[in-house]
Chain A
Amino acid sequence: MSIYIGVLFAVLHPHVRPEYKAYYIDHISSDWNPSYYPGTLEQGMNFSRRGLPEWVKSTRGLSIRESWGRWTDEDLGPIAGLKFTQSFSGPLCVDFTARAVPWVVGRTITVEMGNEKHPLRIAAEDLTAYEVQFTNLQQANELNIDLPKSLPRVFEMVPTNGDPRRLALNLSTLRLIPGRCPAVSASAGASH
């Protein structure tokens, strides 16, 4: 019996690193032991590239790397996002490109950073540029994308596709630009 009591204690009290717990137990991180490459906020990050830029500490809610980028997957958490190695204050422009599954086009998501939240309408299925202007951040170090809830699995919407994931957005690139967002042309399909 004491063996089983010991097992119960062990199960309830893992002694592992926070990174291990986030990835393997809580599933709030999508990267295990990533490699970091040099880069600036303006150079941004390419989600299909292996590793993370040195200004991104970890990701959450994102599926495996693919040639297009990384899909958000509701099974990995209802919120997808990035945690940064630095904090941001004041105005900040989040400029990213993404594709979307057809059944979320036209829906509105919330992009959140620190104390600010902004709605964002998903404009199109094809690769589209989006900008979100944060005006007065206060020591914010996480960017979260609050996705629609209860997303269907891909195979439920497309029976010939065996993908079991609950996808929404496929993130391709992301940049952080301190200050105001640059003007965006209408042909790029930008959405606020």
Chain B
Amino acid sequence: MIQTSPSTATERISGASGIDRFLRKHPEIWVALILWLASNLFVTGISKFGTWEGMASYHSSANLCQWDCGWFGRVLDSGYDKAPWREGGDHANWAFHPLFPLTAYPFHYWLKLSLATSLVFASKTALLLALYAFLLMIREHTITNGDRFRAGSLVAFNPYLIYAHAGYSEPLYFALLGFAFYYAGRARWLQSGIMSALLSATRLVGVVFCISYAMAVLKSLRGRFGWRNYDLSQIIGFLLCPLGTALYMLYLYHHIGDAMGQVHVEVAWGRTAGNPFSVLFQCLAGHHWLRIWGFMIVAGFLASAWLLKLCKAELGIYLALALLIPLSSGYYGIARYIWWQPPFLYAIYRILSRHTGAWVVYTAFTSGMAAFMIIGWFSGHNFVI
């Protein structure tokens, strides 16, 4: 029998109790971790199965880095282009905002991993944060651990889950937006502003959070709109919101002379601003994937309206604008712009909470779709982008 001094035993018990108490107090942490592991297993497993059957070519994480992951890799490898020169001569990597490639920097330059592996690991790491952020955001509606697992599964087994494992910025964007909404909901204005600043350095559409932030501030004032009722942290937080994209625009102005380069370069991909409803009509009138995307877009707008009905205007308005802006320049990528929005998954959670029997059906659908998209990721067909 191993003898330990009473004080050491007491310390160990206290330590274990401390961890246990911490985890009991913050269940979102271990729920997020378990779901993250499950998500990774799911993607790896499906990729392996696909490879066995000749439908995929997955031999390591690096194989998941495709399409836009390559563009983020170019930013990470050689910085931003001085002039357009890629892919036919008029493309440049300015449309890919800097924060996500920066998160891959330690993996590539400190751990000496390949570009592809670094970006994939960075997106997987961001997924863990995304899960945690969403669980925090939805905390008031999750009472039991079962609720938390169900809520987290909306993220971990998202139909477009592949983007969280493929070196895309979607999970980082999702995490930062989730945190921004969480802090705003708890009147922690500086933290919300900081998250929003990082958000706008991840994707341009993150700037729209300024509107949600302002709505959250006004909501907190409960009708007392006089100027004396604002405090400094609210104002500083608001000023912080678009800071990320502002700094990036100043950098582009210094680097290439065009502060809007990230928008203007879209013309190289044939994307110019137009009528988003015209694009929606095109999708609904089209066939196959176009019509599927059209239904998704309609579902996104319906979710936005539902959030307004739930008196969550800051979520509903954000979701609507976050769909309208990319939709105005085309339909490619619109599916991930819908499914990687915290307000959209929040709306789904609230709906499914009212119809608990639907959870099984919904989870079966999304998992199946996620598996299909993982296989499709390796197909080279552009319905996945």
Chain A residues in contact with chain B, CB under 8 A? Answer: 1, 3-4, 6-7, 10-11, 14-16, 20, 23-25, 27, 32-33, 64, 75-76, 153, 155-156, 159-160, 162, 164
Contacts and interface: CB of A to CB of B under 8 A. Distances in A.
B259 A7 contact: yes
Contact of A7 (B90, B250, B285): B250
B89 A33 contact: yes
B243 A32 contact: no
B209 to A, nearest CB: 16
Interface of B is mostly: helix
Contacts of B278: 153, 164
A1 B239 contact: yes
A27 B246 contact: no
Interface of B: 84, 89-90, 239, 242-243, 246-247, 249-250, 253, 256-261, 264-265, 267-268, 270, 272, 274, 278-279, 281-282, 285-287, 290, 330
25 contacts: A3-B243, A4-B242, A4-B246, A7-B249, A10-B249, A10-B250, A10-B253, A11-B259, A14-B253, A14-B258, A16-B256, A16-B257, A16-B258, A20-B257, A20-B258, A24-B258, A24-B267, A25-B264, A27-B272, A33-B84, A64-B270, A75-B272, A76-B272, A155-B285, A159-B285
Given A16-B258, A24-B264, A27-B272, A164 B285 contact: no
Contacts of A75: 272, 274
Contacts of B259: 7, 10-11, 14
B89 A162 contact: no
B257 A15 contact: yes
Tell which of A16, A24, A27, A156 has the most Cβ of chain B within 10 Å: A24
A27 B270 CA distance: 11
B258 A6 contact: no
A4 B259 CA distance: 12
B286 A162 contact: yes
Nearest to B91: A32
Nearest to A33: B89
4 cross-chain pairs, A with B, having the tightest CB-CB distances, nearest first: A10-B259, A32-B90, A10-B253, A24-B264
A119 B6 CA distance: 103
Contacts of A15: 257
Contacts of A6: 250
B90 A23 contact: yes
A155 B285 CA distance: 8
A3 B250 contact: yes
Contacts of B330: 164
A19 to B, nearest CB: 11
A16 B259 CA distance: 10
